[in-house]
């Protein structure tokens, strides 16, 4: 065999080997280094990578595809520096998408309040004005109708106006304007009303003297009239002075919450500025027989306009109907002229006995016609803001609390409930005859409580008020001749005696 040597053969193997090794090395290098080349702009071309190689160009592809989350993720993962402008836009778009998702979900759940809250936090009220308006509207409805939080509602409307200047058409269409009117109206009332911290006062009259020449004519009753009564003219002046001194008539139910009779609570009364709460009452209003011919009306009647008026009989026997003849029509007319003398239409309390009937009708006789007529008068008075009280049935000195036995006291209360209450209606107010006082825990008071009376009014010029669980005890001061001549300084807060006192007709009495 010839060792025929081909010199070209080994060189060819070497070249092949070099090519193979080079290819393998570059492939290896590619696998190792290419991911890092991305940032220098080298593109991948194999199917090995499911996403483009990381680069500014690949990032911009996410951006152009509006995959802003992908864009940011890509930049973050590969730490790619990028222009701030695109970054800001991407972040903004992501926020918008989240906002839209929240908006869609809130609307689907009808949770507009949460929606408004969210947009507030996002500072995105203007961009989503329609949705924000819906949210504000829902929040306002909750505040106005459920929570009665008108101050909060006002603040929300103000914030809303600030957040969305000018979408008047939108807000009107969605009813913000009408809600604002509601809130404004309420707040306007609030502005003229403030919590009253004044101690409520309570003053009382008896039936008024129409003709002082007859009352003070020197017969056996004149001293009683002088001490315990007030004339129509004096009372008209007193009302004007009370009004000038910022008193306002209120009722017990304005002052106290009786819904739980075992736990009476004070109410926070809101009154116009400077106004002082005052309760008025008038005792007896029976036009008793002994007063006949002494210058008082004989009963209350309704005139042709269905208004309360007084039936007055002159000494010669002829009868006239006089409106300025007792406290009720006087106060009604005064409040008509000065509505701010009365809180929500409150007038006063008629303290009724029963032994000679009520309101000038001798209903104690059981005459059904008289009972019917008296009931009409009582109903009319109630519709005018007057209330009634139990003033005992008998007004008998022997029933005065400290004298009467518990049994007699109970009998008197029961009789009043049986005879008087059907005419004047149920009441929780007991105005003691002779102004006597009961303690909140004594048996007689407990009996009154049992029968539904939980306001008790004795007489005292000190005008104390005490609220117990079972009863409100409120003193009353007398607006009468006795008080105007005995310790008159107690009347100083209410009216000026020299301007009121009927010097011409009242007798001069030695003490």
Closer by beta carbon to Zn ion, 284 or else 502: 284
- Give which of 370, 206, 394, 395 is closest to 282, Cα–Cα: 206
Q: Which stretch binds Zn ion (CB under 5 A): 49-57, 266-274, 430-438, 478-486?
A: 430-438
DSSP letter string over 275-301? -EEEEEEEEE-S--GGGTTTT--SEEE
Binding residues among 432-471 for Zn ion as defined by CB under 5 A: 433
Rounded to a whole number of angstroms, the minimum distance from the CB of residue 338 to Zn ion is 29
Residue of 476, 278, 296, 286 lying closest to 378 (CA atoms):
286
As measured in angstroms, the least distance from the Cβ of 395 to Zn ion is: 6
In which element (H, E) is residue 19 found?
Answer: helix 8-37
Least distance to Zn ion, CB of residue 281, Å: 10
Interface with Zn ion (CB under 5 A), residue total 3
Q: What x/- string results for residues 378 through 417 when contact with Zn ion is judged by CB under 5 A? A: ----------------------------------------
CB of 206 to Zn ion, least distance (A): 7
Of residues 99 through 138, those in contact with Zn ion by CB under 5 A are: none
Q: Which is nearer to Zn ion, 234 or 283 (CB)?
A: 283
Query: At its nearest, how many Å lie between Zn ion and the CB of residue 188?
Result: 43
Distance in Å, CB of 283 to Zn ion, minimum: 4
Q: Which range in 227-235, 241-249, 366-374, 425-433 contacts Zn ion by CB under 5 A?
A: 425-433
The SS3 of residue 257 is strand
Indicate the residue among 433 and 458 with the shorter CB distance to Zn ion: 433
Q: Please, what is the Cα angle at 311 between 348 and 329, to 5 degrees?
A: 25
* Closer residue to Zn ion (CB): 228 or 243: 228
> Which of these segments, 47-55, 163-171, 431-439, 498-506, binds Zn ion (CB under 5 A)?
431-439
| Contact partners, residue 119, CB within 8 Å, separation at least 6 | 99, 125, 128, 131, 132, 135
Q: How far apart are CA 203 and CA 280, in angstroms?
A: 5
Q: Which of residues 254 and 356 has its CB atom nearest to Zn ion in the complex?
A: 356
Half-sphere exposure of 176 (CA within 13 A, CB side): 26
| Measured distance CA(258)–CA(347) in Å, rounded | 19
The least CB distance from residue 323 to Zn ion, in Å, is 24
x/- letters, 269..298, toward Zn ion (CB under 5 A): --------------xx--------------
User: In angstroms, what is the minimal distance from the CB of 433 to Zn ion?
Assistant: 5
Smallest gap from residue 257 Cβ to Zn ion (A): 28
The nearer residue to Zn ion, 206 or 237, going by C-beta atoms, is 206
Contacts to Zn ion from residues 49-78, by CB under 5 A: none
CA distance 338 to 41: 90
Instruction: Give the 3-state secondary structure of residue 202.
Output: strand
Give whichever of 256 and 355 is closer to Zn ion, judged by the CB atom.
Answer: 355
Comparing CB distances to Zn ion, the nearer of 284 and 332 is: 284
Burial class (CB in 10 A: 0-12, 13-18, 19+), 67: middle
- Residue number of the CB closest to Zn ion reads 283
Of 41, 100, 46, 88, which Cα lies nearest the Cα of 63? 88
Q: Could you tell me the smallest distance in angstroms from the CB atom of residue 425 to Zn ion?
A: 20
Task: Pick between residue 71 and residue 204 the one whose CB is nearest to Zn ion.
Answer: 204
CB-nearer residue toward Zn ion: 200 or 433: 433
Which DSSP category does 364 fall into?
G
Residue 147: half-sphere exposure toward Cβ, Cα within 13 Å: 12
CB of 384 to Zn ion, least distance (A): 22
Instruction: Please give the angle made by the CA atoms of 55, 61 and 65, to the nearest 5 degrees.
Output: 155
Which of 488, 459, 457, 485 lies closest to 471 in space, CA to CA?
Answer: 457
Nearer to Zn ion, 128 or 205 (CB): 205
Residue 478 as a binder of Zn ion (CB under 5 A): the answer is: no
Q: Nearest Cα to 277, choosing from 369, 324, 343?
A: 343
Enumerate binding residues for Zn ion (CB under 5 A). 283-284, 433
């Amino acid at each position: 065999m010839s060792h025929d040597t081909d010199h070209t053969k080994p060189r060819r193997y070497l070249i092949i080997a070099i090519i193979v090794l080079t290819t393998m090395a570059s492939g290896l290098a590619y696998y190792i280094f290419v991911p890092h080349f991305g940032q220098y702009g080298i593109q991948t071309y194999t199917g090995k990578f499911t996403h483009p190689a990381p680069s500014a160009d690949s990032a911009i592809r996410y951006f152009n595809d509006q995959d802003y989350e992908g864009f940011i993720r890509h930049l973050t993962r590969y730490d790619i520096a990028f222009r701030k402008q695109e970054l800001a836009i991407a972040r903004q778009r992501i926020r918008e998408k989240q906002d839209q998702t929240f908006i869609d979900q809130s609307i689907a759940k009808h949770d507009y309040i949460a929606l408004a809250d969210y947009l507030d936090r996002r500072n995105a009220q203007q961009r989503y004005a329609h949705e924000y308006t819906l949210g504000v509207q829902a929040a306002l409805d909750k505040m106005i109708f459920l929570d009665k939080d008108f101050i909060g509602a006002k603040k929300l409307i103000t914030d809303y106006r600030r957040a969305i200047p000018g979408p008047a058409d939108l807000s009107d269409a969605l009813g913000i304007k009408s809600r604002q009117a509601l809130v404004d109206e309420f707040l306007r009332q609030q502005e003229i009303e403030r919590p009253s911290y004044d101690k409520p006062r309570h003053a009382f009259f008896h039936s008024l003297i129409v003709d002082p020449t007859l009352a003070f004519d020197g017969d056996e009753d004149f001293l009683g009239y002088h001490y315990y009564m007030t004339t129509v003219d004096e009372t008209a002046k007193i009302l004007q002075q009370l009004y000038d001194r910022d008193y306002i008539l209120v009722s017990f139910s304005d002052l106290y919450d009786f819904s739980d009779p075992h736990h009476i609570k004070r109410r926070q009364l809101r009154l116009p500025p400077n106004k002082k709460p005052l309760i008025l009452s008038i005792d007896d209003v029976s036009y008793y027989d002994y007063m006949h011919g002494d210058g008082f009306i004989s009963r209350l009647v309704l005139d042709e306009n269905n208004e309360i008026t007084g039936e007055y009989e002159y000494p010669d026997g002829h009868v006239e109907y006089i409106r300025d003849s007792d406290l009720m029509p006087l106060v009604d007319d005064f409040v008509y002229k000065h509505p701010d003398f009365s809180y929500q239409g409150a007038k006063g309390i008629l303290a009724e006995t029963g032994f000679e009937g009520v309101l000038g009708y001798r209903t104690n006789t059981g005459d059904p016609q008289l009972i019917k007529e008296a009931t009409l008068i009582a109903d009319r008075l109630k519709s005018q803001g007057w209330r009634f009280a139990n003033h005992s049935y008998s007004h008998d000195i022997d029933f005065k609390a400290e004298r009467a036995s518990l049994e007699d006291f109970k009998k008197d209360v029961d009789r009043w409930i049986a005879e008087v209450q059907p005419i004047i209606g149920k009441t929780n107010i007991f105005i003691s005859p002779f102004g006597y006082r009961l303690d909140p825990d004594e048996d007689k008071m407990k009996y009154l409580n049992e029968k539904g009376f939980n306001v008790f009014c004795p007489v005292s010029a000190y005008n104390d008020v005490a609220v117990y669980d079972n009863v409100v005890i409120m003193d009353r001061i007398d607006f009468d001749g006795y008080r105007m001549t005995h310790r008159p300084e107690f009347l100083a807060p209410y009216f000026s005696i020299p301007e009121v006192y009927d010097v011409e007709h009242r007798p001069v009495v030695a003490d």
